[in-house]
Structure 1
Amino acid sequence: MSNGPSFTLASLLESNARNYSDAPALVFEGKTLSHTEYLAQGKRLASAWTKLGLIRQERVAVMSRNRLEICEVYAASEIGGFVTATISFRFAPPEVTYIVNDSLPRILVFEEEFTGLIDGIRASLTSVEHFVCIGNAPDWAVSYDDVIKTGDESFSAIVEDTDICSIIYTSGTTGRPKGVMLTHRGKVACAQSISSLMAAGPMDRILLMMPMFHVGAKDMSLGQSWRAGAIHLHRDFDPELILRTIQDERITITHMAPTMIQMLLDHPRVDDYDLSSLRMIVYSAAAMPTALLRRGLAKLGPVFLQMYGQTEGSGIVLPIEAHLPDGDDRDRRRLQSIGIPFPGILVRIVNEEGKDCAVDEPGEILMRGPIMMKGYWNNSNATLETLRDGWLHSGDMGKFDSDGYIYLVDRKKDMIVSGGENIYSREVEEAIYQHDAVANAAVIGVADEKWGEAVRAVVQLREGASASAADIITHCRTLIAGYKCPKSVIFVDDLPKLPSGKINKIVIRKEHGTA
């Protein structure tokens, strides 16, 4: 432990409750928690976890859509020194089982909607001692409301800034989810940086509909909390509800993927709503197509800001002033970039020998700064590979231009971005290979007007076997989340291979990558 107190996410909650006590912290479906109430709920839940036997740095897993309770679970861990392990509500049972058995939580919180899924796998979740249900609890679980009532809002605990506050799982290029360990120190630095970039203040109101189990929405909420602004949550992406909320609640900031922005602008009633309060849309997951940007600027004005990062760490931003589709050649070129480093973040682009690349020379993007992960949970090999010599090796290929703007040359190997979600082809391929009729398979992304990219499987069947595209897709849905499953399947007699015997995806993309 350190010689003196350190500023943690618990400190942030306490500071907001002290200085902005009655101001709204969270707003969801007509219910508002003030900063004082939010802190009190977090303390009650942390106290309740302690009464159930949870000790410092033990895990609480949570599987929930956006709502007040998922924020309270985060807050309880931040206050009590526990660790929140998030589970995507889109995951299939095998994926949920893997994450729970990897993170080894003693408590699993889940929404009533997922009771059937959890019931089907709970016998295999050996570490879980307490199943806690948000909503009507089955007889094998306890009610979230009943649990939090047992807590004491006078609860306090010693929390260090080096403590892990959350483990957020992200698929690696091998297809197996990796738990990213995030510390209080890193998330405080992240909150400060994002708040500065958003120019957030106590009167701002941010609308979040991206899932809170993701690092993106969580980080946006931290950036807003840094200056005690209000966080409005939506359970899902509903374009008309978003338009109405922006108008009625005078939303000033929101966070979306470009595909969501397109669906918002395409809504037939978009012109019926007053969106003049909106001063910033933070987008991520993919570049903004120039035609879409022009439409957005015409409708909303100069409100767009792009952030680049990953669960392991972020640090590159394309600021509002760089979104100039009708500027000169230099301005238009910058629209294809991911921007410049955050203040306080160092970025290098290196070649295979680890030496810095020249201007316009592609190499791997490396980042260094206070907002990077501590490492991967239960995966020292991957940690040593990613965190080397004090630098986070992103796995993304990029290049600098002469002005210091950074351009992605290629994404992480074989990664597909569909509707703002990262999908790794290896994971989908592993699911396809479990079909008895499949001999070889390759998964690629193809352009999709609605989702940016869609998953396509190119499949070689075993000799004498038969299967339809629907068979392959239905099979995948039993093993992986629906959004990861192929949207189209092409059958071929043979897949091209490299001299090493590996499947040649360059040729496959060339032959089968047309939308």
Structure 2
Amino acid sequence: MHVPLTTNDFIDRAELVYGDRIGVVDEPVQPAAAVENLTYRDLARRGRALQAGLDELGVPEGARVAVVSHNSARLLELLLAVPSSGRILVPVNFRLQPEEVSYIIGDCKADVVLIDPELDEALADVGARHRFVLGADTDQALLRFDAEPHRWQQPDEDATATLNYTSGTTAKPKGVRLTHRNIWINSVTFGMHMQVSDRDVLMHVLPMFHCNGWGMPYTATGLGIKQVVLRKVDGAEILRRVDEHGITLMCGAPTVWNMVLDAAQQWDGEIPGRDRVRLVVAGAPPPSRTIARIEEELGWQFNQIYGLTETSPLLTVNRSRAEYDNLPAIERAKMLSKAGAPSLGTRISTDADGEILVASNTVMDSYWNNPQETATAMRGGQFHTGDGGSIDGDGYLTISDRKKDVIITGGENVSSIEVEDVLFTHPAVAEVAVIAVPDDKWGEMVTALVVRRDGERVTETELIDHARHSLAGYKIPKQVLFTDSIPRTATGKVQKFRLRAQFWTGDRQVN
């Protein structure tokens, strides 16, 4: 027997088994009216009403529905409802500039675009055949509780469920086609490795647009877990909500937990969640001392994963093992600083150049309308991550270099090529190279090395302001350093490893 693995399974099970349980606690402070605490039955009912609304608009199966939003209950219900109707959800990074969002909407040819109220004015020129502002606008125009939606005619686990845009080796973002099967296997495997149960309480600290919240919204829904929405990251607010809601599980980039560590210094009383909270961290891994502080000062369990948007994202998992229990905190932290061992069903290897290659059911179908990039990434029957690393005798992966020119800062991917292109438009810039520099707060800091044109004078502040007009905030260089020359190969290729060498210690070339 073959039953398709589709995202419908998660919300269907939640409604059947946990219908009366509170499923979502929405962000109370937001420009769109909060959706009050929703049971899983409410969430399923709203999802069907949304599907009926899309039916009425004439949005067919396979059509793209784009959403640009901070974390919210409405974004969560879109992640569940849109793919389950046979349509494709396109969650867009809300930090992008209007022209960047327009490019994505145009590239995927979205039929519908849904905009967070806070972004409505800035994205006024971003549109599609149907454009709505999340909140009262969508509730009135899209939710049809008086009609039954058309059922997905032929559920297909290999159909595209979400289209997630990611920065890569080119300045233009690429659309990653994640299938229902990709999402299903990622979410179930993730839940198993993190030992998630229906007794957990998840707080959405990680932006849900980011690779579908790493798949955790589906994991949590299928297991009937209460999901608490955090709209904007704030260290003290995270501590307060951990205390108020009994949070046990959170995902996020290292910079988030640095904010929490800072806030904990001012917290009055015992740190909430001690010996209860489990963190899942990905992106540029924090230094060992930060991992030790999380476990010692907060009493929270540190877990690390490695993956990419193209892999749904789970590839490796590093959890504290029984063998680590008697180690000193800093020694255990060193063990946890590795990327981890392959998740169940994932095969990881390295080629002669040290590039990490993977084969897994979580690897994407393809890049959207980009067969050339797809063929390059999938050559030889394995996905080429663009990252370099080594694998020890226990199968644990350590990342040593990023072959693609991508910087991971605060959990966000930044194309160094894109930043270089913007800086190079300044008339005083003769040459520019953008690299990652280690940073305790952001994991990696976007840093530009610039050669001025003869006779030209330009300051760091002026170049940063120049970049601000064209780039999302997280892409803007945190520092600009001036140099007399940029090292290149005989064929003119910039030798970024030489530029990075002055900032990175040892053999590691990414944080």
Using the size of structure 2 for normalisation, the TM-score is 0.90
Equivalent position amino acid for 2:258 in 1: Q
Q: Which position in structure 2 is the counterpart of 1:243?
A: 239
Q: Following the alignment from structure 2 to structure 1, what is the Cα–Cα distance between the partners of residues 429 and 307?
A: 36
Q: CA deviation at 1:433?
A: 1.6
Deviations 1:26-73 (A, max 9, x none): 211353111111111111111111111110111011100000111122
1:295 to 293, 296, 301: 293
Name which of structure 1's ranges 11-20 and 467-476 shifts more when overlaid on structure 2. 467-476
Query: 1:106 is aligned with what amino acid?
Result: D
SS at match of 2:70: coil
Tell me if 1:462 matches 2:453: yes
CA distance in 1, matches of 2:102, 2:300: 44
Correspondence for 2:142? 148
* 5+ residue gaps, structure 2: 29-35, 506-511
Report the residue type matching 1:452 in the other structure. Answer: G
Indicate the SS of the match to 1:154: coil
- Is 1:488 aligned to 2:508, yes or no? no
Cα distance change of structure 1 residues 296 and 224 upon mapping to structure 2, 3 Å threshold? same
Offset of residue 469 of structure 1: 1.9
Q: Does 1:403 align with 2:394?
A: yes
1:474 aligns with 2:470: no
> How far off is 1:103 after superposition?
0.8
Offset at 1:320?
Answer: 2.3
Match for residue 258 of structure 1?
254
Pick from 293, 305, 308: which aligns with 1:307? 305
Is 1:88 aligned with 2:85? no
Cα distance, 1:169 vs. partner?
0.5
Decide which of 251, 257, 277 is 1:279's aligned counterpart: 277
| Contact residue 303 and residue 336 of structure 2 kept, 8 A | no
The question of 1:179 aligning with 2:175 is answered yes
Distance 2:167 2:95 in 1: 13
Q: Is the 8 A contact 1:460 1:493 kept in 2?
A: yes
Q: Percent identity?
A: 31
Q: Deviations over 1:156-190 (max 9, x none)?
A: 32332111110011101223211100011111111
Deviation at 1:152, TM superposition (A): 4.6
1:157 aligns with 2:152: yes
Task: Give SS of 1:428's match.
Answer: helix
* 8 Å CA contact 1:286, 1:420 repeated in 2: yes
CA deviation digits over 1:252-277, x for unaligned, max 9?
11112222212212213335243237
Tell me whether 157-166 or 48-57 shows the greater mean CA deviation: 157-166
Work out whether residues 294 and 325 of structure 1, in 8 Å CA contact, stay in contact via their aligned partners in 2.
no
Evaluate the alpha carbon distance shift between residue 334 and residue 464 of structure 1 in structure 2; reply closer, same or farther with a 3 A threshold: same
Structure 2 residue aligned with 1:337: 338
- The equivalent residue for 2:190 is 194
Decide whether aligned partners of structure 1 residues 348 and 448 sit closer, same or farther in structure 2, where only a CA change above 3 A counts.
Answer: closer
Of 105, 111, 120 in structure 2, the residue corresponding to residue 115 of structure 1 is 120
Code of the residue aligned with 1:54 in structure 2: it is V
Residues 1:68 and 2:73 are matched in the alignment: yes
Distance, in Å, in 1 between the alignment partners of 2:332 and 2:484 is: 47
CA distance in 1, matches of 2:367, 2:27: 35
Question: Aligned partners of 2:500 and 2:187: how far apart in 1?
Answer: 39
Counterpart Cα distance in 2 of 1:513 and 1:466: 29
Q: Distance in 2 between matches of 1:328 and 1:206?
A: 26
SS in 1 for 2:260: helix
**Deviation of the 1:329 alpha carbon:** 11
TM-score for the superposition, normalised by structure 1: 0.89
Deviation at 1:118, TM superposition (A): 1.9
Deviation at 1:15, TM superposition (A): 1.6
Matched residue SS, 2:122 = helix
Query: Counterpart of 1:21?
Result: 19
SS in 2 for 1:429: helix
**Partner residue, 2:266:** 269
> Which has the higher mean CA deviation after the structures are superposed, 47-56 or 454-463?
454-463
Report how far residue 19 of structure 1 moved.
Answer: 1.2
- Kindly state the Cα deviation for residue 458 of structure 1 after the two structures are TM-superposed: 1.3
Secondary structure in structure 2 of the residue aligned to 1:65: coil
More moved, 427-436 vs 96-105: 427-436
For residues 330 and 294 of structure 1, do their structure 2 counterparts lie closer, same or farther at Cα, with a shift above 3 Å needed?
Answer: closer
Distance 1:180 1:193 in 2: 20
Q: 1:131 to 1:34 in 2, by over 3 A?
A: same
For 1:343, the aligned partner's letter is: L
Q: Within 1, Cα distance between the matches of 2:280 and 2:324?
A: 12
Distance 2:368 2:492 in 1: 33
Shift in alpha-carbon separation, 1:32–1:152, aligned structure 2, 3 A? same
Q: Is the 8 A contact 2:273 2:299 kept in 1?
A: no
Q: Which runs of 5+ in 1 are unaligned?
A: 137-142, 353-362
Question: Is the contact made by 2:46 and 2:143 (CA closer than 8 Å) also made in structure 1?
Answer: no
The alignment yields a C-alpha RMSD, in angstroms, of 2.4
CA deviation profile, 1:402-443 (whole Å, cap 9, x unmatched): 222111121243332222222221111111122233221111
Instruction: Give the Cα separation in 1 of the matches to 2:357 and 2:144.
Output: 47
- The SS at the match of 2:123 is helix
Count of aligned pairs between the two proteins: 492
SS at match of 2:120: helix
The change in CA–CA distance for 1:364 and 1:324 in structure 2 (over 3 A counts) is: farther
Distance 1:369 1:494 in 2: 43
Q: Which residue of 2 aligns with 1:51?
A: 56
- Measured against aligned partners, the alpha-carbon deviations of 1:301-330 in whole angstroms (never above 9, x if no partner) come to 461111110001122111122766945999
- What residue is the counterpart of 2:381 in the other structure? 390
Question: Which residue among 98, 101, 120 is the counterpart of 2:103?
Answer: 98
Whole-angstrom distance in 2 between the partners of 1:100 and 1:173: 20
Pick from 6, 11, 28 the counterpart of residue 4 of structure 2. Answer: 6
After alignment, is 101-110 or 413-422 more displaced?
413-422
Amino acid at match of 1:149: L
In 1, Cα distance between equivalents of 2:361 and 2:235 = 36
Q: Give the secondary structure class of the aligned counterpart of 2:276.
A: coil
Q: 1:145: Cα distance to partner?
A: 1.6
How far does the alpha carbon of each residue in 1:127-147 deviate from its partner, in whole angstroms, 9 at most, with x for none?
x111111247xxxxxx11212
Cα pair distance change 1:511/1:295, threshold 3 Å? closer
